[in-house]
Amino acid sequence: YGSKISESDAVWLAGRIGKAYQPDCEGNNTDLDIDNMPSECGFAYRGDFREPTVVTERADGASMSRYLYASHKISEGVFEPAGLPHARRGDKTLYVTLRDGFSDTEIVLYYTVSDDSDVLVRGSVIKNAGKTALKLKKAFSFCTELFAADWKLLKLEGNWVAERSPEITDLGHGVTKIQSLRGASSHQMNPFAALLRDGADEFSGECYGFQLIYSGSWAITAERNNINQLRIQGGVNDFGFCWKLGAGESFHTPQAALCYSSEGMGKLSREYADFIRERIMPPAHAFSTRPIVVNNWEATYFDFNNEKLFAIIDESAKLGIDTFVLDDGWFGVRDSDRSGLGDWVVNEKKLKGGLKAVIDRCKSKGMKFGLWFEPEMISPDSDLYRAHPDYAICKKGTTPVYGRHQLCLDLTRKEVRDCVVEAVSKVLRENEISYVKWDYNRDLADMYSESLPADGMGEFTHRYMLGAYDLFERITSAFLNILFEGCAGGGRRFDAGMLYYFPHIWTSDNADAVERTRIQYGTSYCYPLSAMSCHVSVCPNHQTGRTVSFDTRGAVASLGSTGYELDISKLSEQEKQKVKEQVESYKKIADLVLGGDLYRLCDPFEGDRFCEMIVSKDKTRAYLAGTRTKYLPRRNSSHLRIYGLDENKTYKITETGDVVSGKVLAAAGIPFRELREYESFVYHIEEVKKK
């Protein structure tokens, strides 16, 4: 795991590591050497004093373990963990079986590699090979050890409306932990970490990436021991986790996608983008042209009727927008966020003629129709709750924790999932719907299910996520023609697990163009641009109050799956003309957003500029968009260095007329356009073929 080396070097390295750390498992006094031994699976209470990777407890309460190599095999293709999102494709998988005679545990660590990818997929299967039940108290997905270096940890921290800000810190001695305990991968911390070696940055140096293909409570820890070795590992959060493993039973961990780059974070991100598009996203949609949507949420919130929606539809159709998405408020009694969730039946008092009237209007204008759901939730004021109060997560006799006035459904129960699948599918079956926005607006609390035994509550949080994945799978696979957009109060659940079902996700409830430069920049560290829904919204912006030109909003929203989140019918004629032009120009670069390589040229967290470029795989075309995020006079370089083109090709920048080689564009760059605060620019770059 790292830079590619020859087989003979690998053999030499293995021999050297073997001698330096020779463990003695027979119990004489050299035993404690294993405390420093690089391990692929750390164990508990038997001489390795670092945090373990897997912990089991026998019926007699003993938890000591030491997993030793037993055998291995290499097979074609991938391993598919039961009920979990996973890499769909890979060349070969190495399976290493470890056994521990004491705890009767058998662990199969697996590693999937592919010649055309620098992403290594890891996971494990933990089996109770004994005759009595075991408790599995920790079951991380991967463990990797790296040698001494000046490692920096890059994490993506954030909040609602400020998701995924890169934060780089030193790694001191001891354990550094990043995690979510919210039952969702979370706004606050993304299930991703990178290690940057000895001053690595965006463009150069060695970086290691660690990304979980998981959407529930997770943890990644980095432990630097006193001889400066680093153990990094992660998986399902072990806080409160306890999984009963009967004799012969197995637990499949979620997968982790590990990546290595010797050319800085930029290359790491491009590897991850390819991995997610080619191996994680649903193949039917991963590279298919995304619709340009108009969503009515910020246009109307809950206050809409046929007339208001028709006005948006009619104007949008004229401007080339192809899909209208009806957001929250169309069902049950739902005029605010206090009621109605769970009642997936159209409110005909609000929408005369039901969904059909809106769909017919879309069709008559040549548009497609999309619909919002929040299937995992229930409002206490709903018919569903009145009929099945027990479907909500809540311990009887206690007041549950509310979030946005709503409760979560107990998805650990099959009958609850069946009820949701039927209610949502009925709407999808009976209406012509080509797009679904699947929302999730609170974190999980009250981790308790009446259906689990008293000693089974440690399974609840992970079982919730398995239940949610079952819902996603059943509904998305039954409606393959529908494009499912993920959403969770914006970016609460933006992770590779969700992208397995939802090829793009509403990146943040903050659609202010300036804030979006930062949110989209951070998100692009490990997810492709096409995974991000990026909409132009109204000004003054509803979150920040900021006013930014239509051009700048369009430029920033063009760096993802674009759309509009405003009342198109209320725009001025000049603004409508802008929408028309933006839609036309986006269609010309949509293929780059879907399949190109991203180069982050100016970091909006530093200095006062943001600039990103997408380059076609064959490096004949590129699209570049940038803006000035704040005005700091003379604080930036006067030139924009354009990295990522082919050094040996000559290019023309349409907007400036410059004709110059990729080599000079990277080394010297072009003069930075003088920009006022929040002003933006876009460049279309094309190869000039030699005659």
Catalytic residues: 439, 509
CB-neighbour burial class of residue 525 (10 A; exposed 0-12, middle 13-18, buried 19+): buried
Question: Does 494 sit near ligand DGJ (CB under 6 A)?
Answer: no
Our CB check for ligand DGJ shows the closer of 309 and 614 to be: 309
The answer to whether 272 touches 538, Cβ cutoff 8 Å, is: no
CA atoms of 413 and 439, how far apart (whole Å)? 20
Residue that has been written with the tokens 């920049």 in this structure: 521
The answer to whether 320 touches 365, Cβ cutoff 8 Å, is: no
Question: Does 515 sit near ligand DGJ (CB under 6 A)?
Answer: no
Instruction: Give the amino acid at 161.
Output: V
Stretch that binds ligand DGJ, among 79-87, 450-458, 465-473, 482-490 (CB under 6 A): 482-490
3-state DSSP call for residue 27?
A: coil
Question: Does 327 sit near ligand DGJ (CB under 6 A)?
Answer: yes
Per-residue exposure over 337-352, b if at least 16 CB sit within 10 Å of its own CB, e if not: bebbbbbbebbeebbe
Estimate the share of the chain in helix, then strand, then coil, as percent rounded to the nearest 5. 25, 30, 45
Residue that has been written with the tokens 């090979």 in this structure: 129
The answer for residues whose C-beta is within 8 angstroms of residue 25's C-beta and 6 or more apart is 31, 66, 68
Question: Does 502 sit near ligand DGJ (CB under 6 A)?
Answer: no
CB of 386 to ligand DGJ, least distance (A): 22
Question: Does 489 sit near ligand DGJ (CB under 6 A)?
Answer: yes
CA atoms of 498 and 215, how far apart (whole Å)? 6
The answer to whether 162 touches 189, Cβ cutoff 8 Å, is: no
Stretch that binds ligand DGJ, among 9-17, 22-30, 49-57, 487-495 (CB under 6 A): 487-495
Instruction: Give the amino acid at 236.
Output: V
Our CB check for ligand DGJ shows the closer of 183 and 662 to be: 183
Our CB check for ligand DGJ shows the closer of 208 and 297 to be: 297
Our CB check for ligand DGJ shows the closer of 259 and 294 to be: 294
Our CB check for ligand DGJ shows the closer of 299 and 622 to be: 299
Task: Provide the sign of the torsion angle of the four alpha carbons 236, 242, 244, 245, taken in this order.
Answer: positive
Question: Does 162 sit near ligand DGJ (CB under 6 A)?
Answer: no
CB of 486 to ligand DGJ, least distance (A): 10
The answer to whether 97 touches 108, Cβ cutoff 8 Å, is: yes
Residue from 487, 538, 602, 653 in contact with ligand DGJ (CB under 6 A):
487
How many Cβ atoms from other residues are within 10 Å of residue 385's Cβ?
Answer: 21
Residue from 439, 512, 515, 687 in contact with ligand DGJ (CB under 6 A):
439
Q: What are the Cα distances from residue 581, in Å, to 340, 437, 534, 550?
A: 39, 26, 17, 11
Our CB check for ligand DGJ shows the closer of 238 and 343 to be: 343
Our CB check for ligand DGJ shows the closer of 237 and 434 to be: 434
CB of 439 to ligand DGJ, least distance (A): 5
Peptide bond preceding 453: is omega within 30 degrees of 0, i.e. cis?
no
Span 370-399, contacts to ligand DGJ by CB under 6 A: 372
Q: Which residue is nearest to ligand DGJ (CB)?
A: 328
Question: Does 57 sit near ligand DGJ (CB under 6 A)?
Answer: no
CA atoms of 410 and 606, how far apart (whole Å)? 44
CB of 328 to ligand DGJ, least distance (A): 4
CB of 297 to ligand DGJ, least distance (A): 5
Our CB check for ligand DGJ shows the closer of 231 and 535 to be: 535
Q: Look up residue 178 and give its two tokens.
A: 């990043």
The answer to whether 435 touches 482, Cβ cutoff 8 Å, is: yes
CB of 348 to ligand DGJ, least distance (A): 20
CB of 332 to ligand DGJ, least distance (A): 13
CA atoms of 337 and 121, how far apart (whole Å)? 40
Q: Look up residue 208 and give its two tokens.
A: 């290691």
Question: Does 441 sit near ligand DGJ (CB under 6 A)?
Answer: yes
CB-neighbour burial class of residue 633 (10 A; exposed 0-12, middle 13-18, buried 19+): exposed
Stretch that binds ligand DGJ, among 12-20, 425-433, 485-493, 659-667 (CB under 6 A): 485-493
* DSSP designation for 267: H
Binding mask 277-316 for ligand DGJ (x = CB under 6 A): --------------------x-------------------
- Across the strands, what pairs with 223? 175, 231
Our CB check for ligand DGJ shows the closer of 85 and 563 to be: 563
Our CB check for ligand DGJ shows the closer of 266 and 489 to be: 489
How many Cβ atoms from other residues are within 10 Å of residue 386's Cβ?
Answer: 11
Our CB check for ligand DGJ shows the closer of 489 and 626 to be: 489
Question: Does 509 sit near ligand DGJ (CB under 6 A)?
Answer: yes
Length of the chain: 691
3-state DSSP call for residue 99?
A: strand
CB of 518 to ligand DGJ, least distance (A): 18
Our CB check for ligand DGJ shows the closer of 327 and 495 to be: 327
3-state DSSP call for residue 467?
A: helix
Question: Does 537 sit near ligand DGJ (CB under 6 A)?
Answer: no
CB of 458 to ligand DGJ, least distance (A): 31
CB of 521 to ligand DGJ, least distance (A): 20
CA atoms of 247 and 242, how far apart (whole Å)? 16
- Across the strands, what pairs with 625? 612, 682
Maximum Cα interatomic distance, the chain, rounded to a whole number of Å: 84
Q: 574: number of CA atoms within 13 Å, CB side?
A: 3
CB of 409 to ligand DGJ, least distance (A): 17
The answer for residues whose C-beta is within 8 angstroms of residue 637's C-beta and 6 or more apart is 669, 672
CB of 440 to ligand DGJ, least distance (A): 9
CA atoms of 498 and 180, how far apart (whole Å)? 16
For β-strands 243-245 and 134-146, DSSP reports them as antiparallel
Residue from 315, 322, 328, 443 in contact with ligand DGJ (CB under 6 A):
328
Number of residues that bind ligand DGJ (CB under 6 A): 11
Stretch that binds ligand DGJ, among 72-80, 375-383, 483-491, 582-590 (CB under 6 A): 483-491
Q: Look up residue 284 and give its two tokens.
A: 């039917």
Residue from 191, 291, 370, 490 in contact with ligand DGJ (CB under 6 A):
490
Stretch that binds ligand DGJ, among 228-236, 408-416, 486-494, 608-616 (CB under 6 A): 486-494
Name the site residues for ligand DGJ (rule: CB under 6 A): 297, 327-328, 372, 439, 441, 487, 489-490, 506, 509
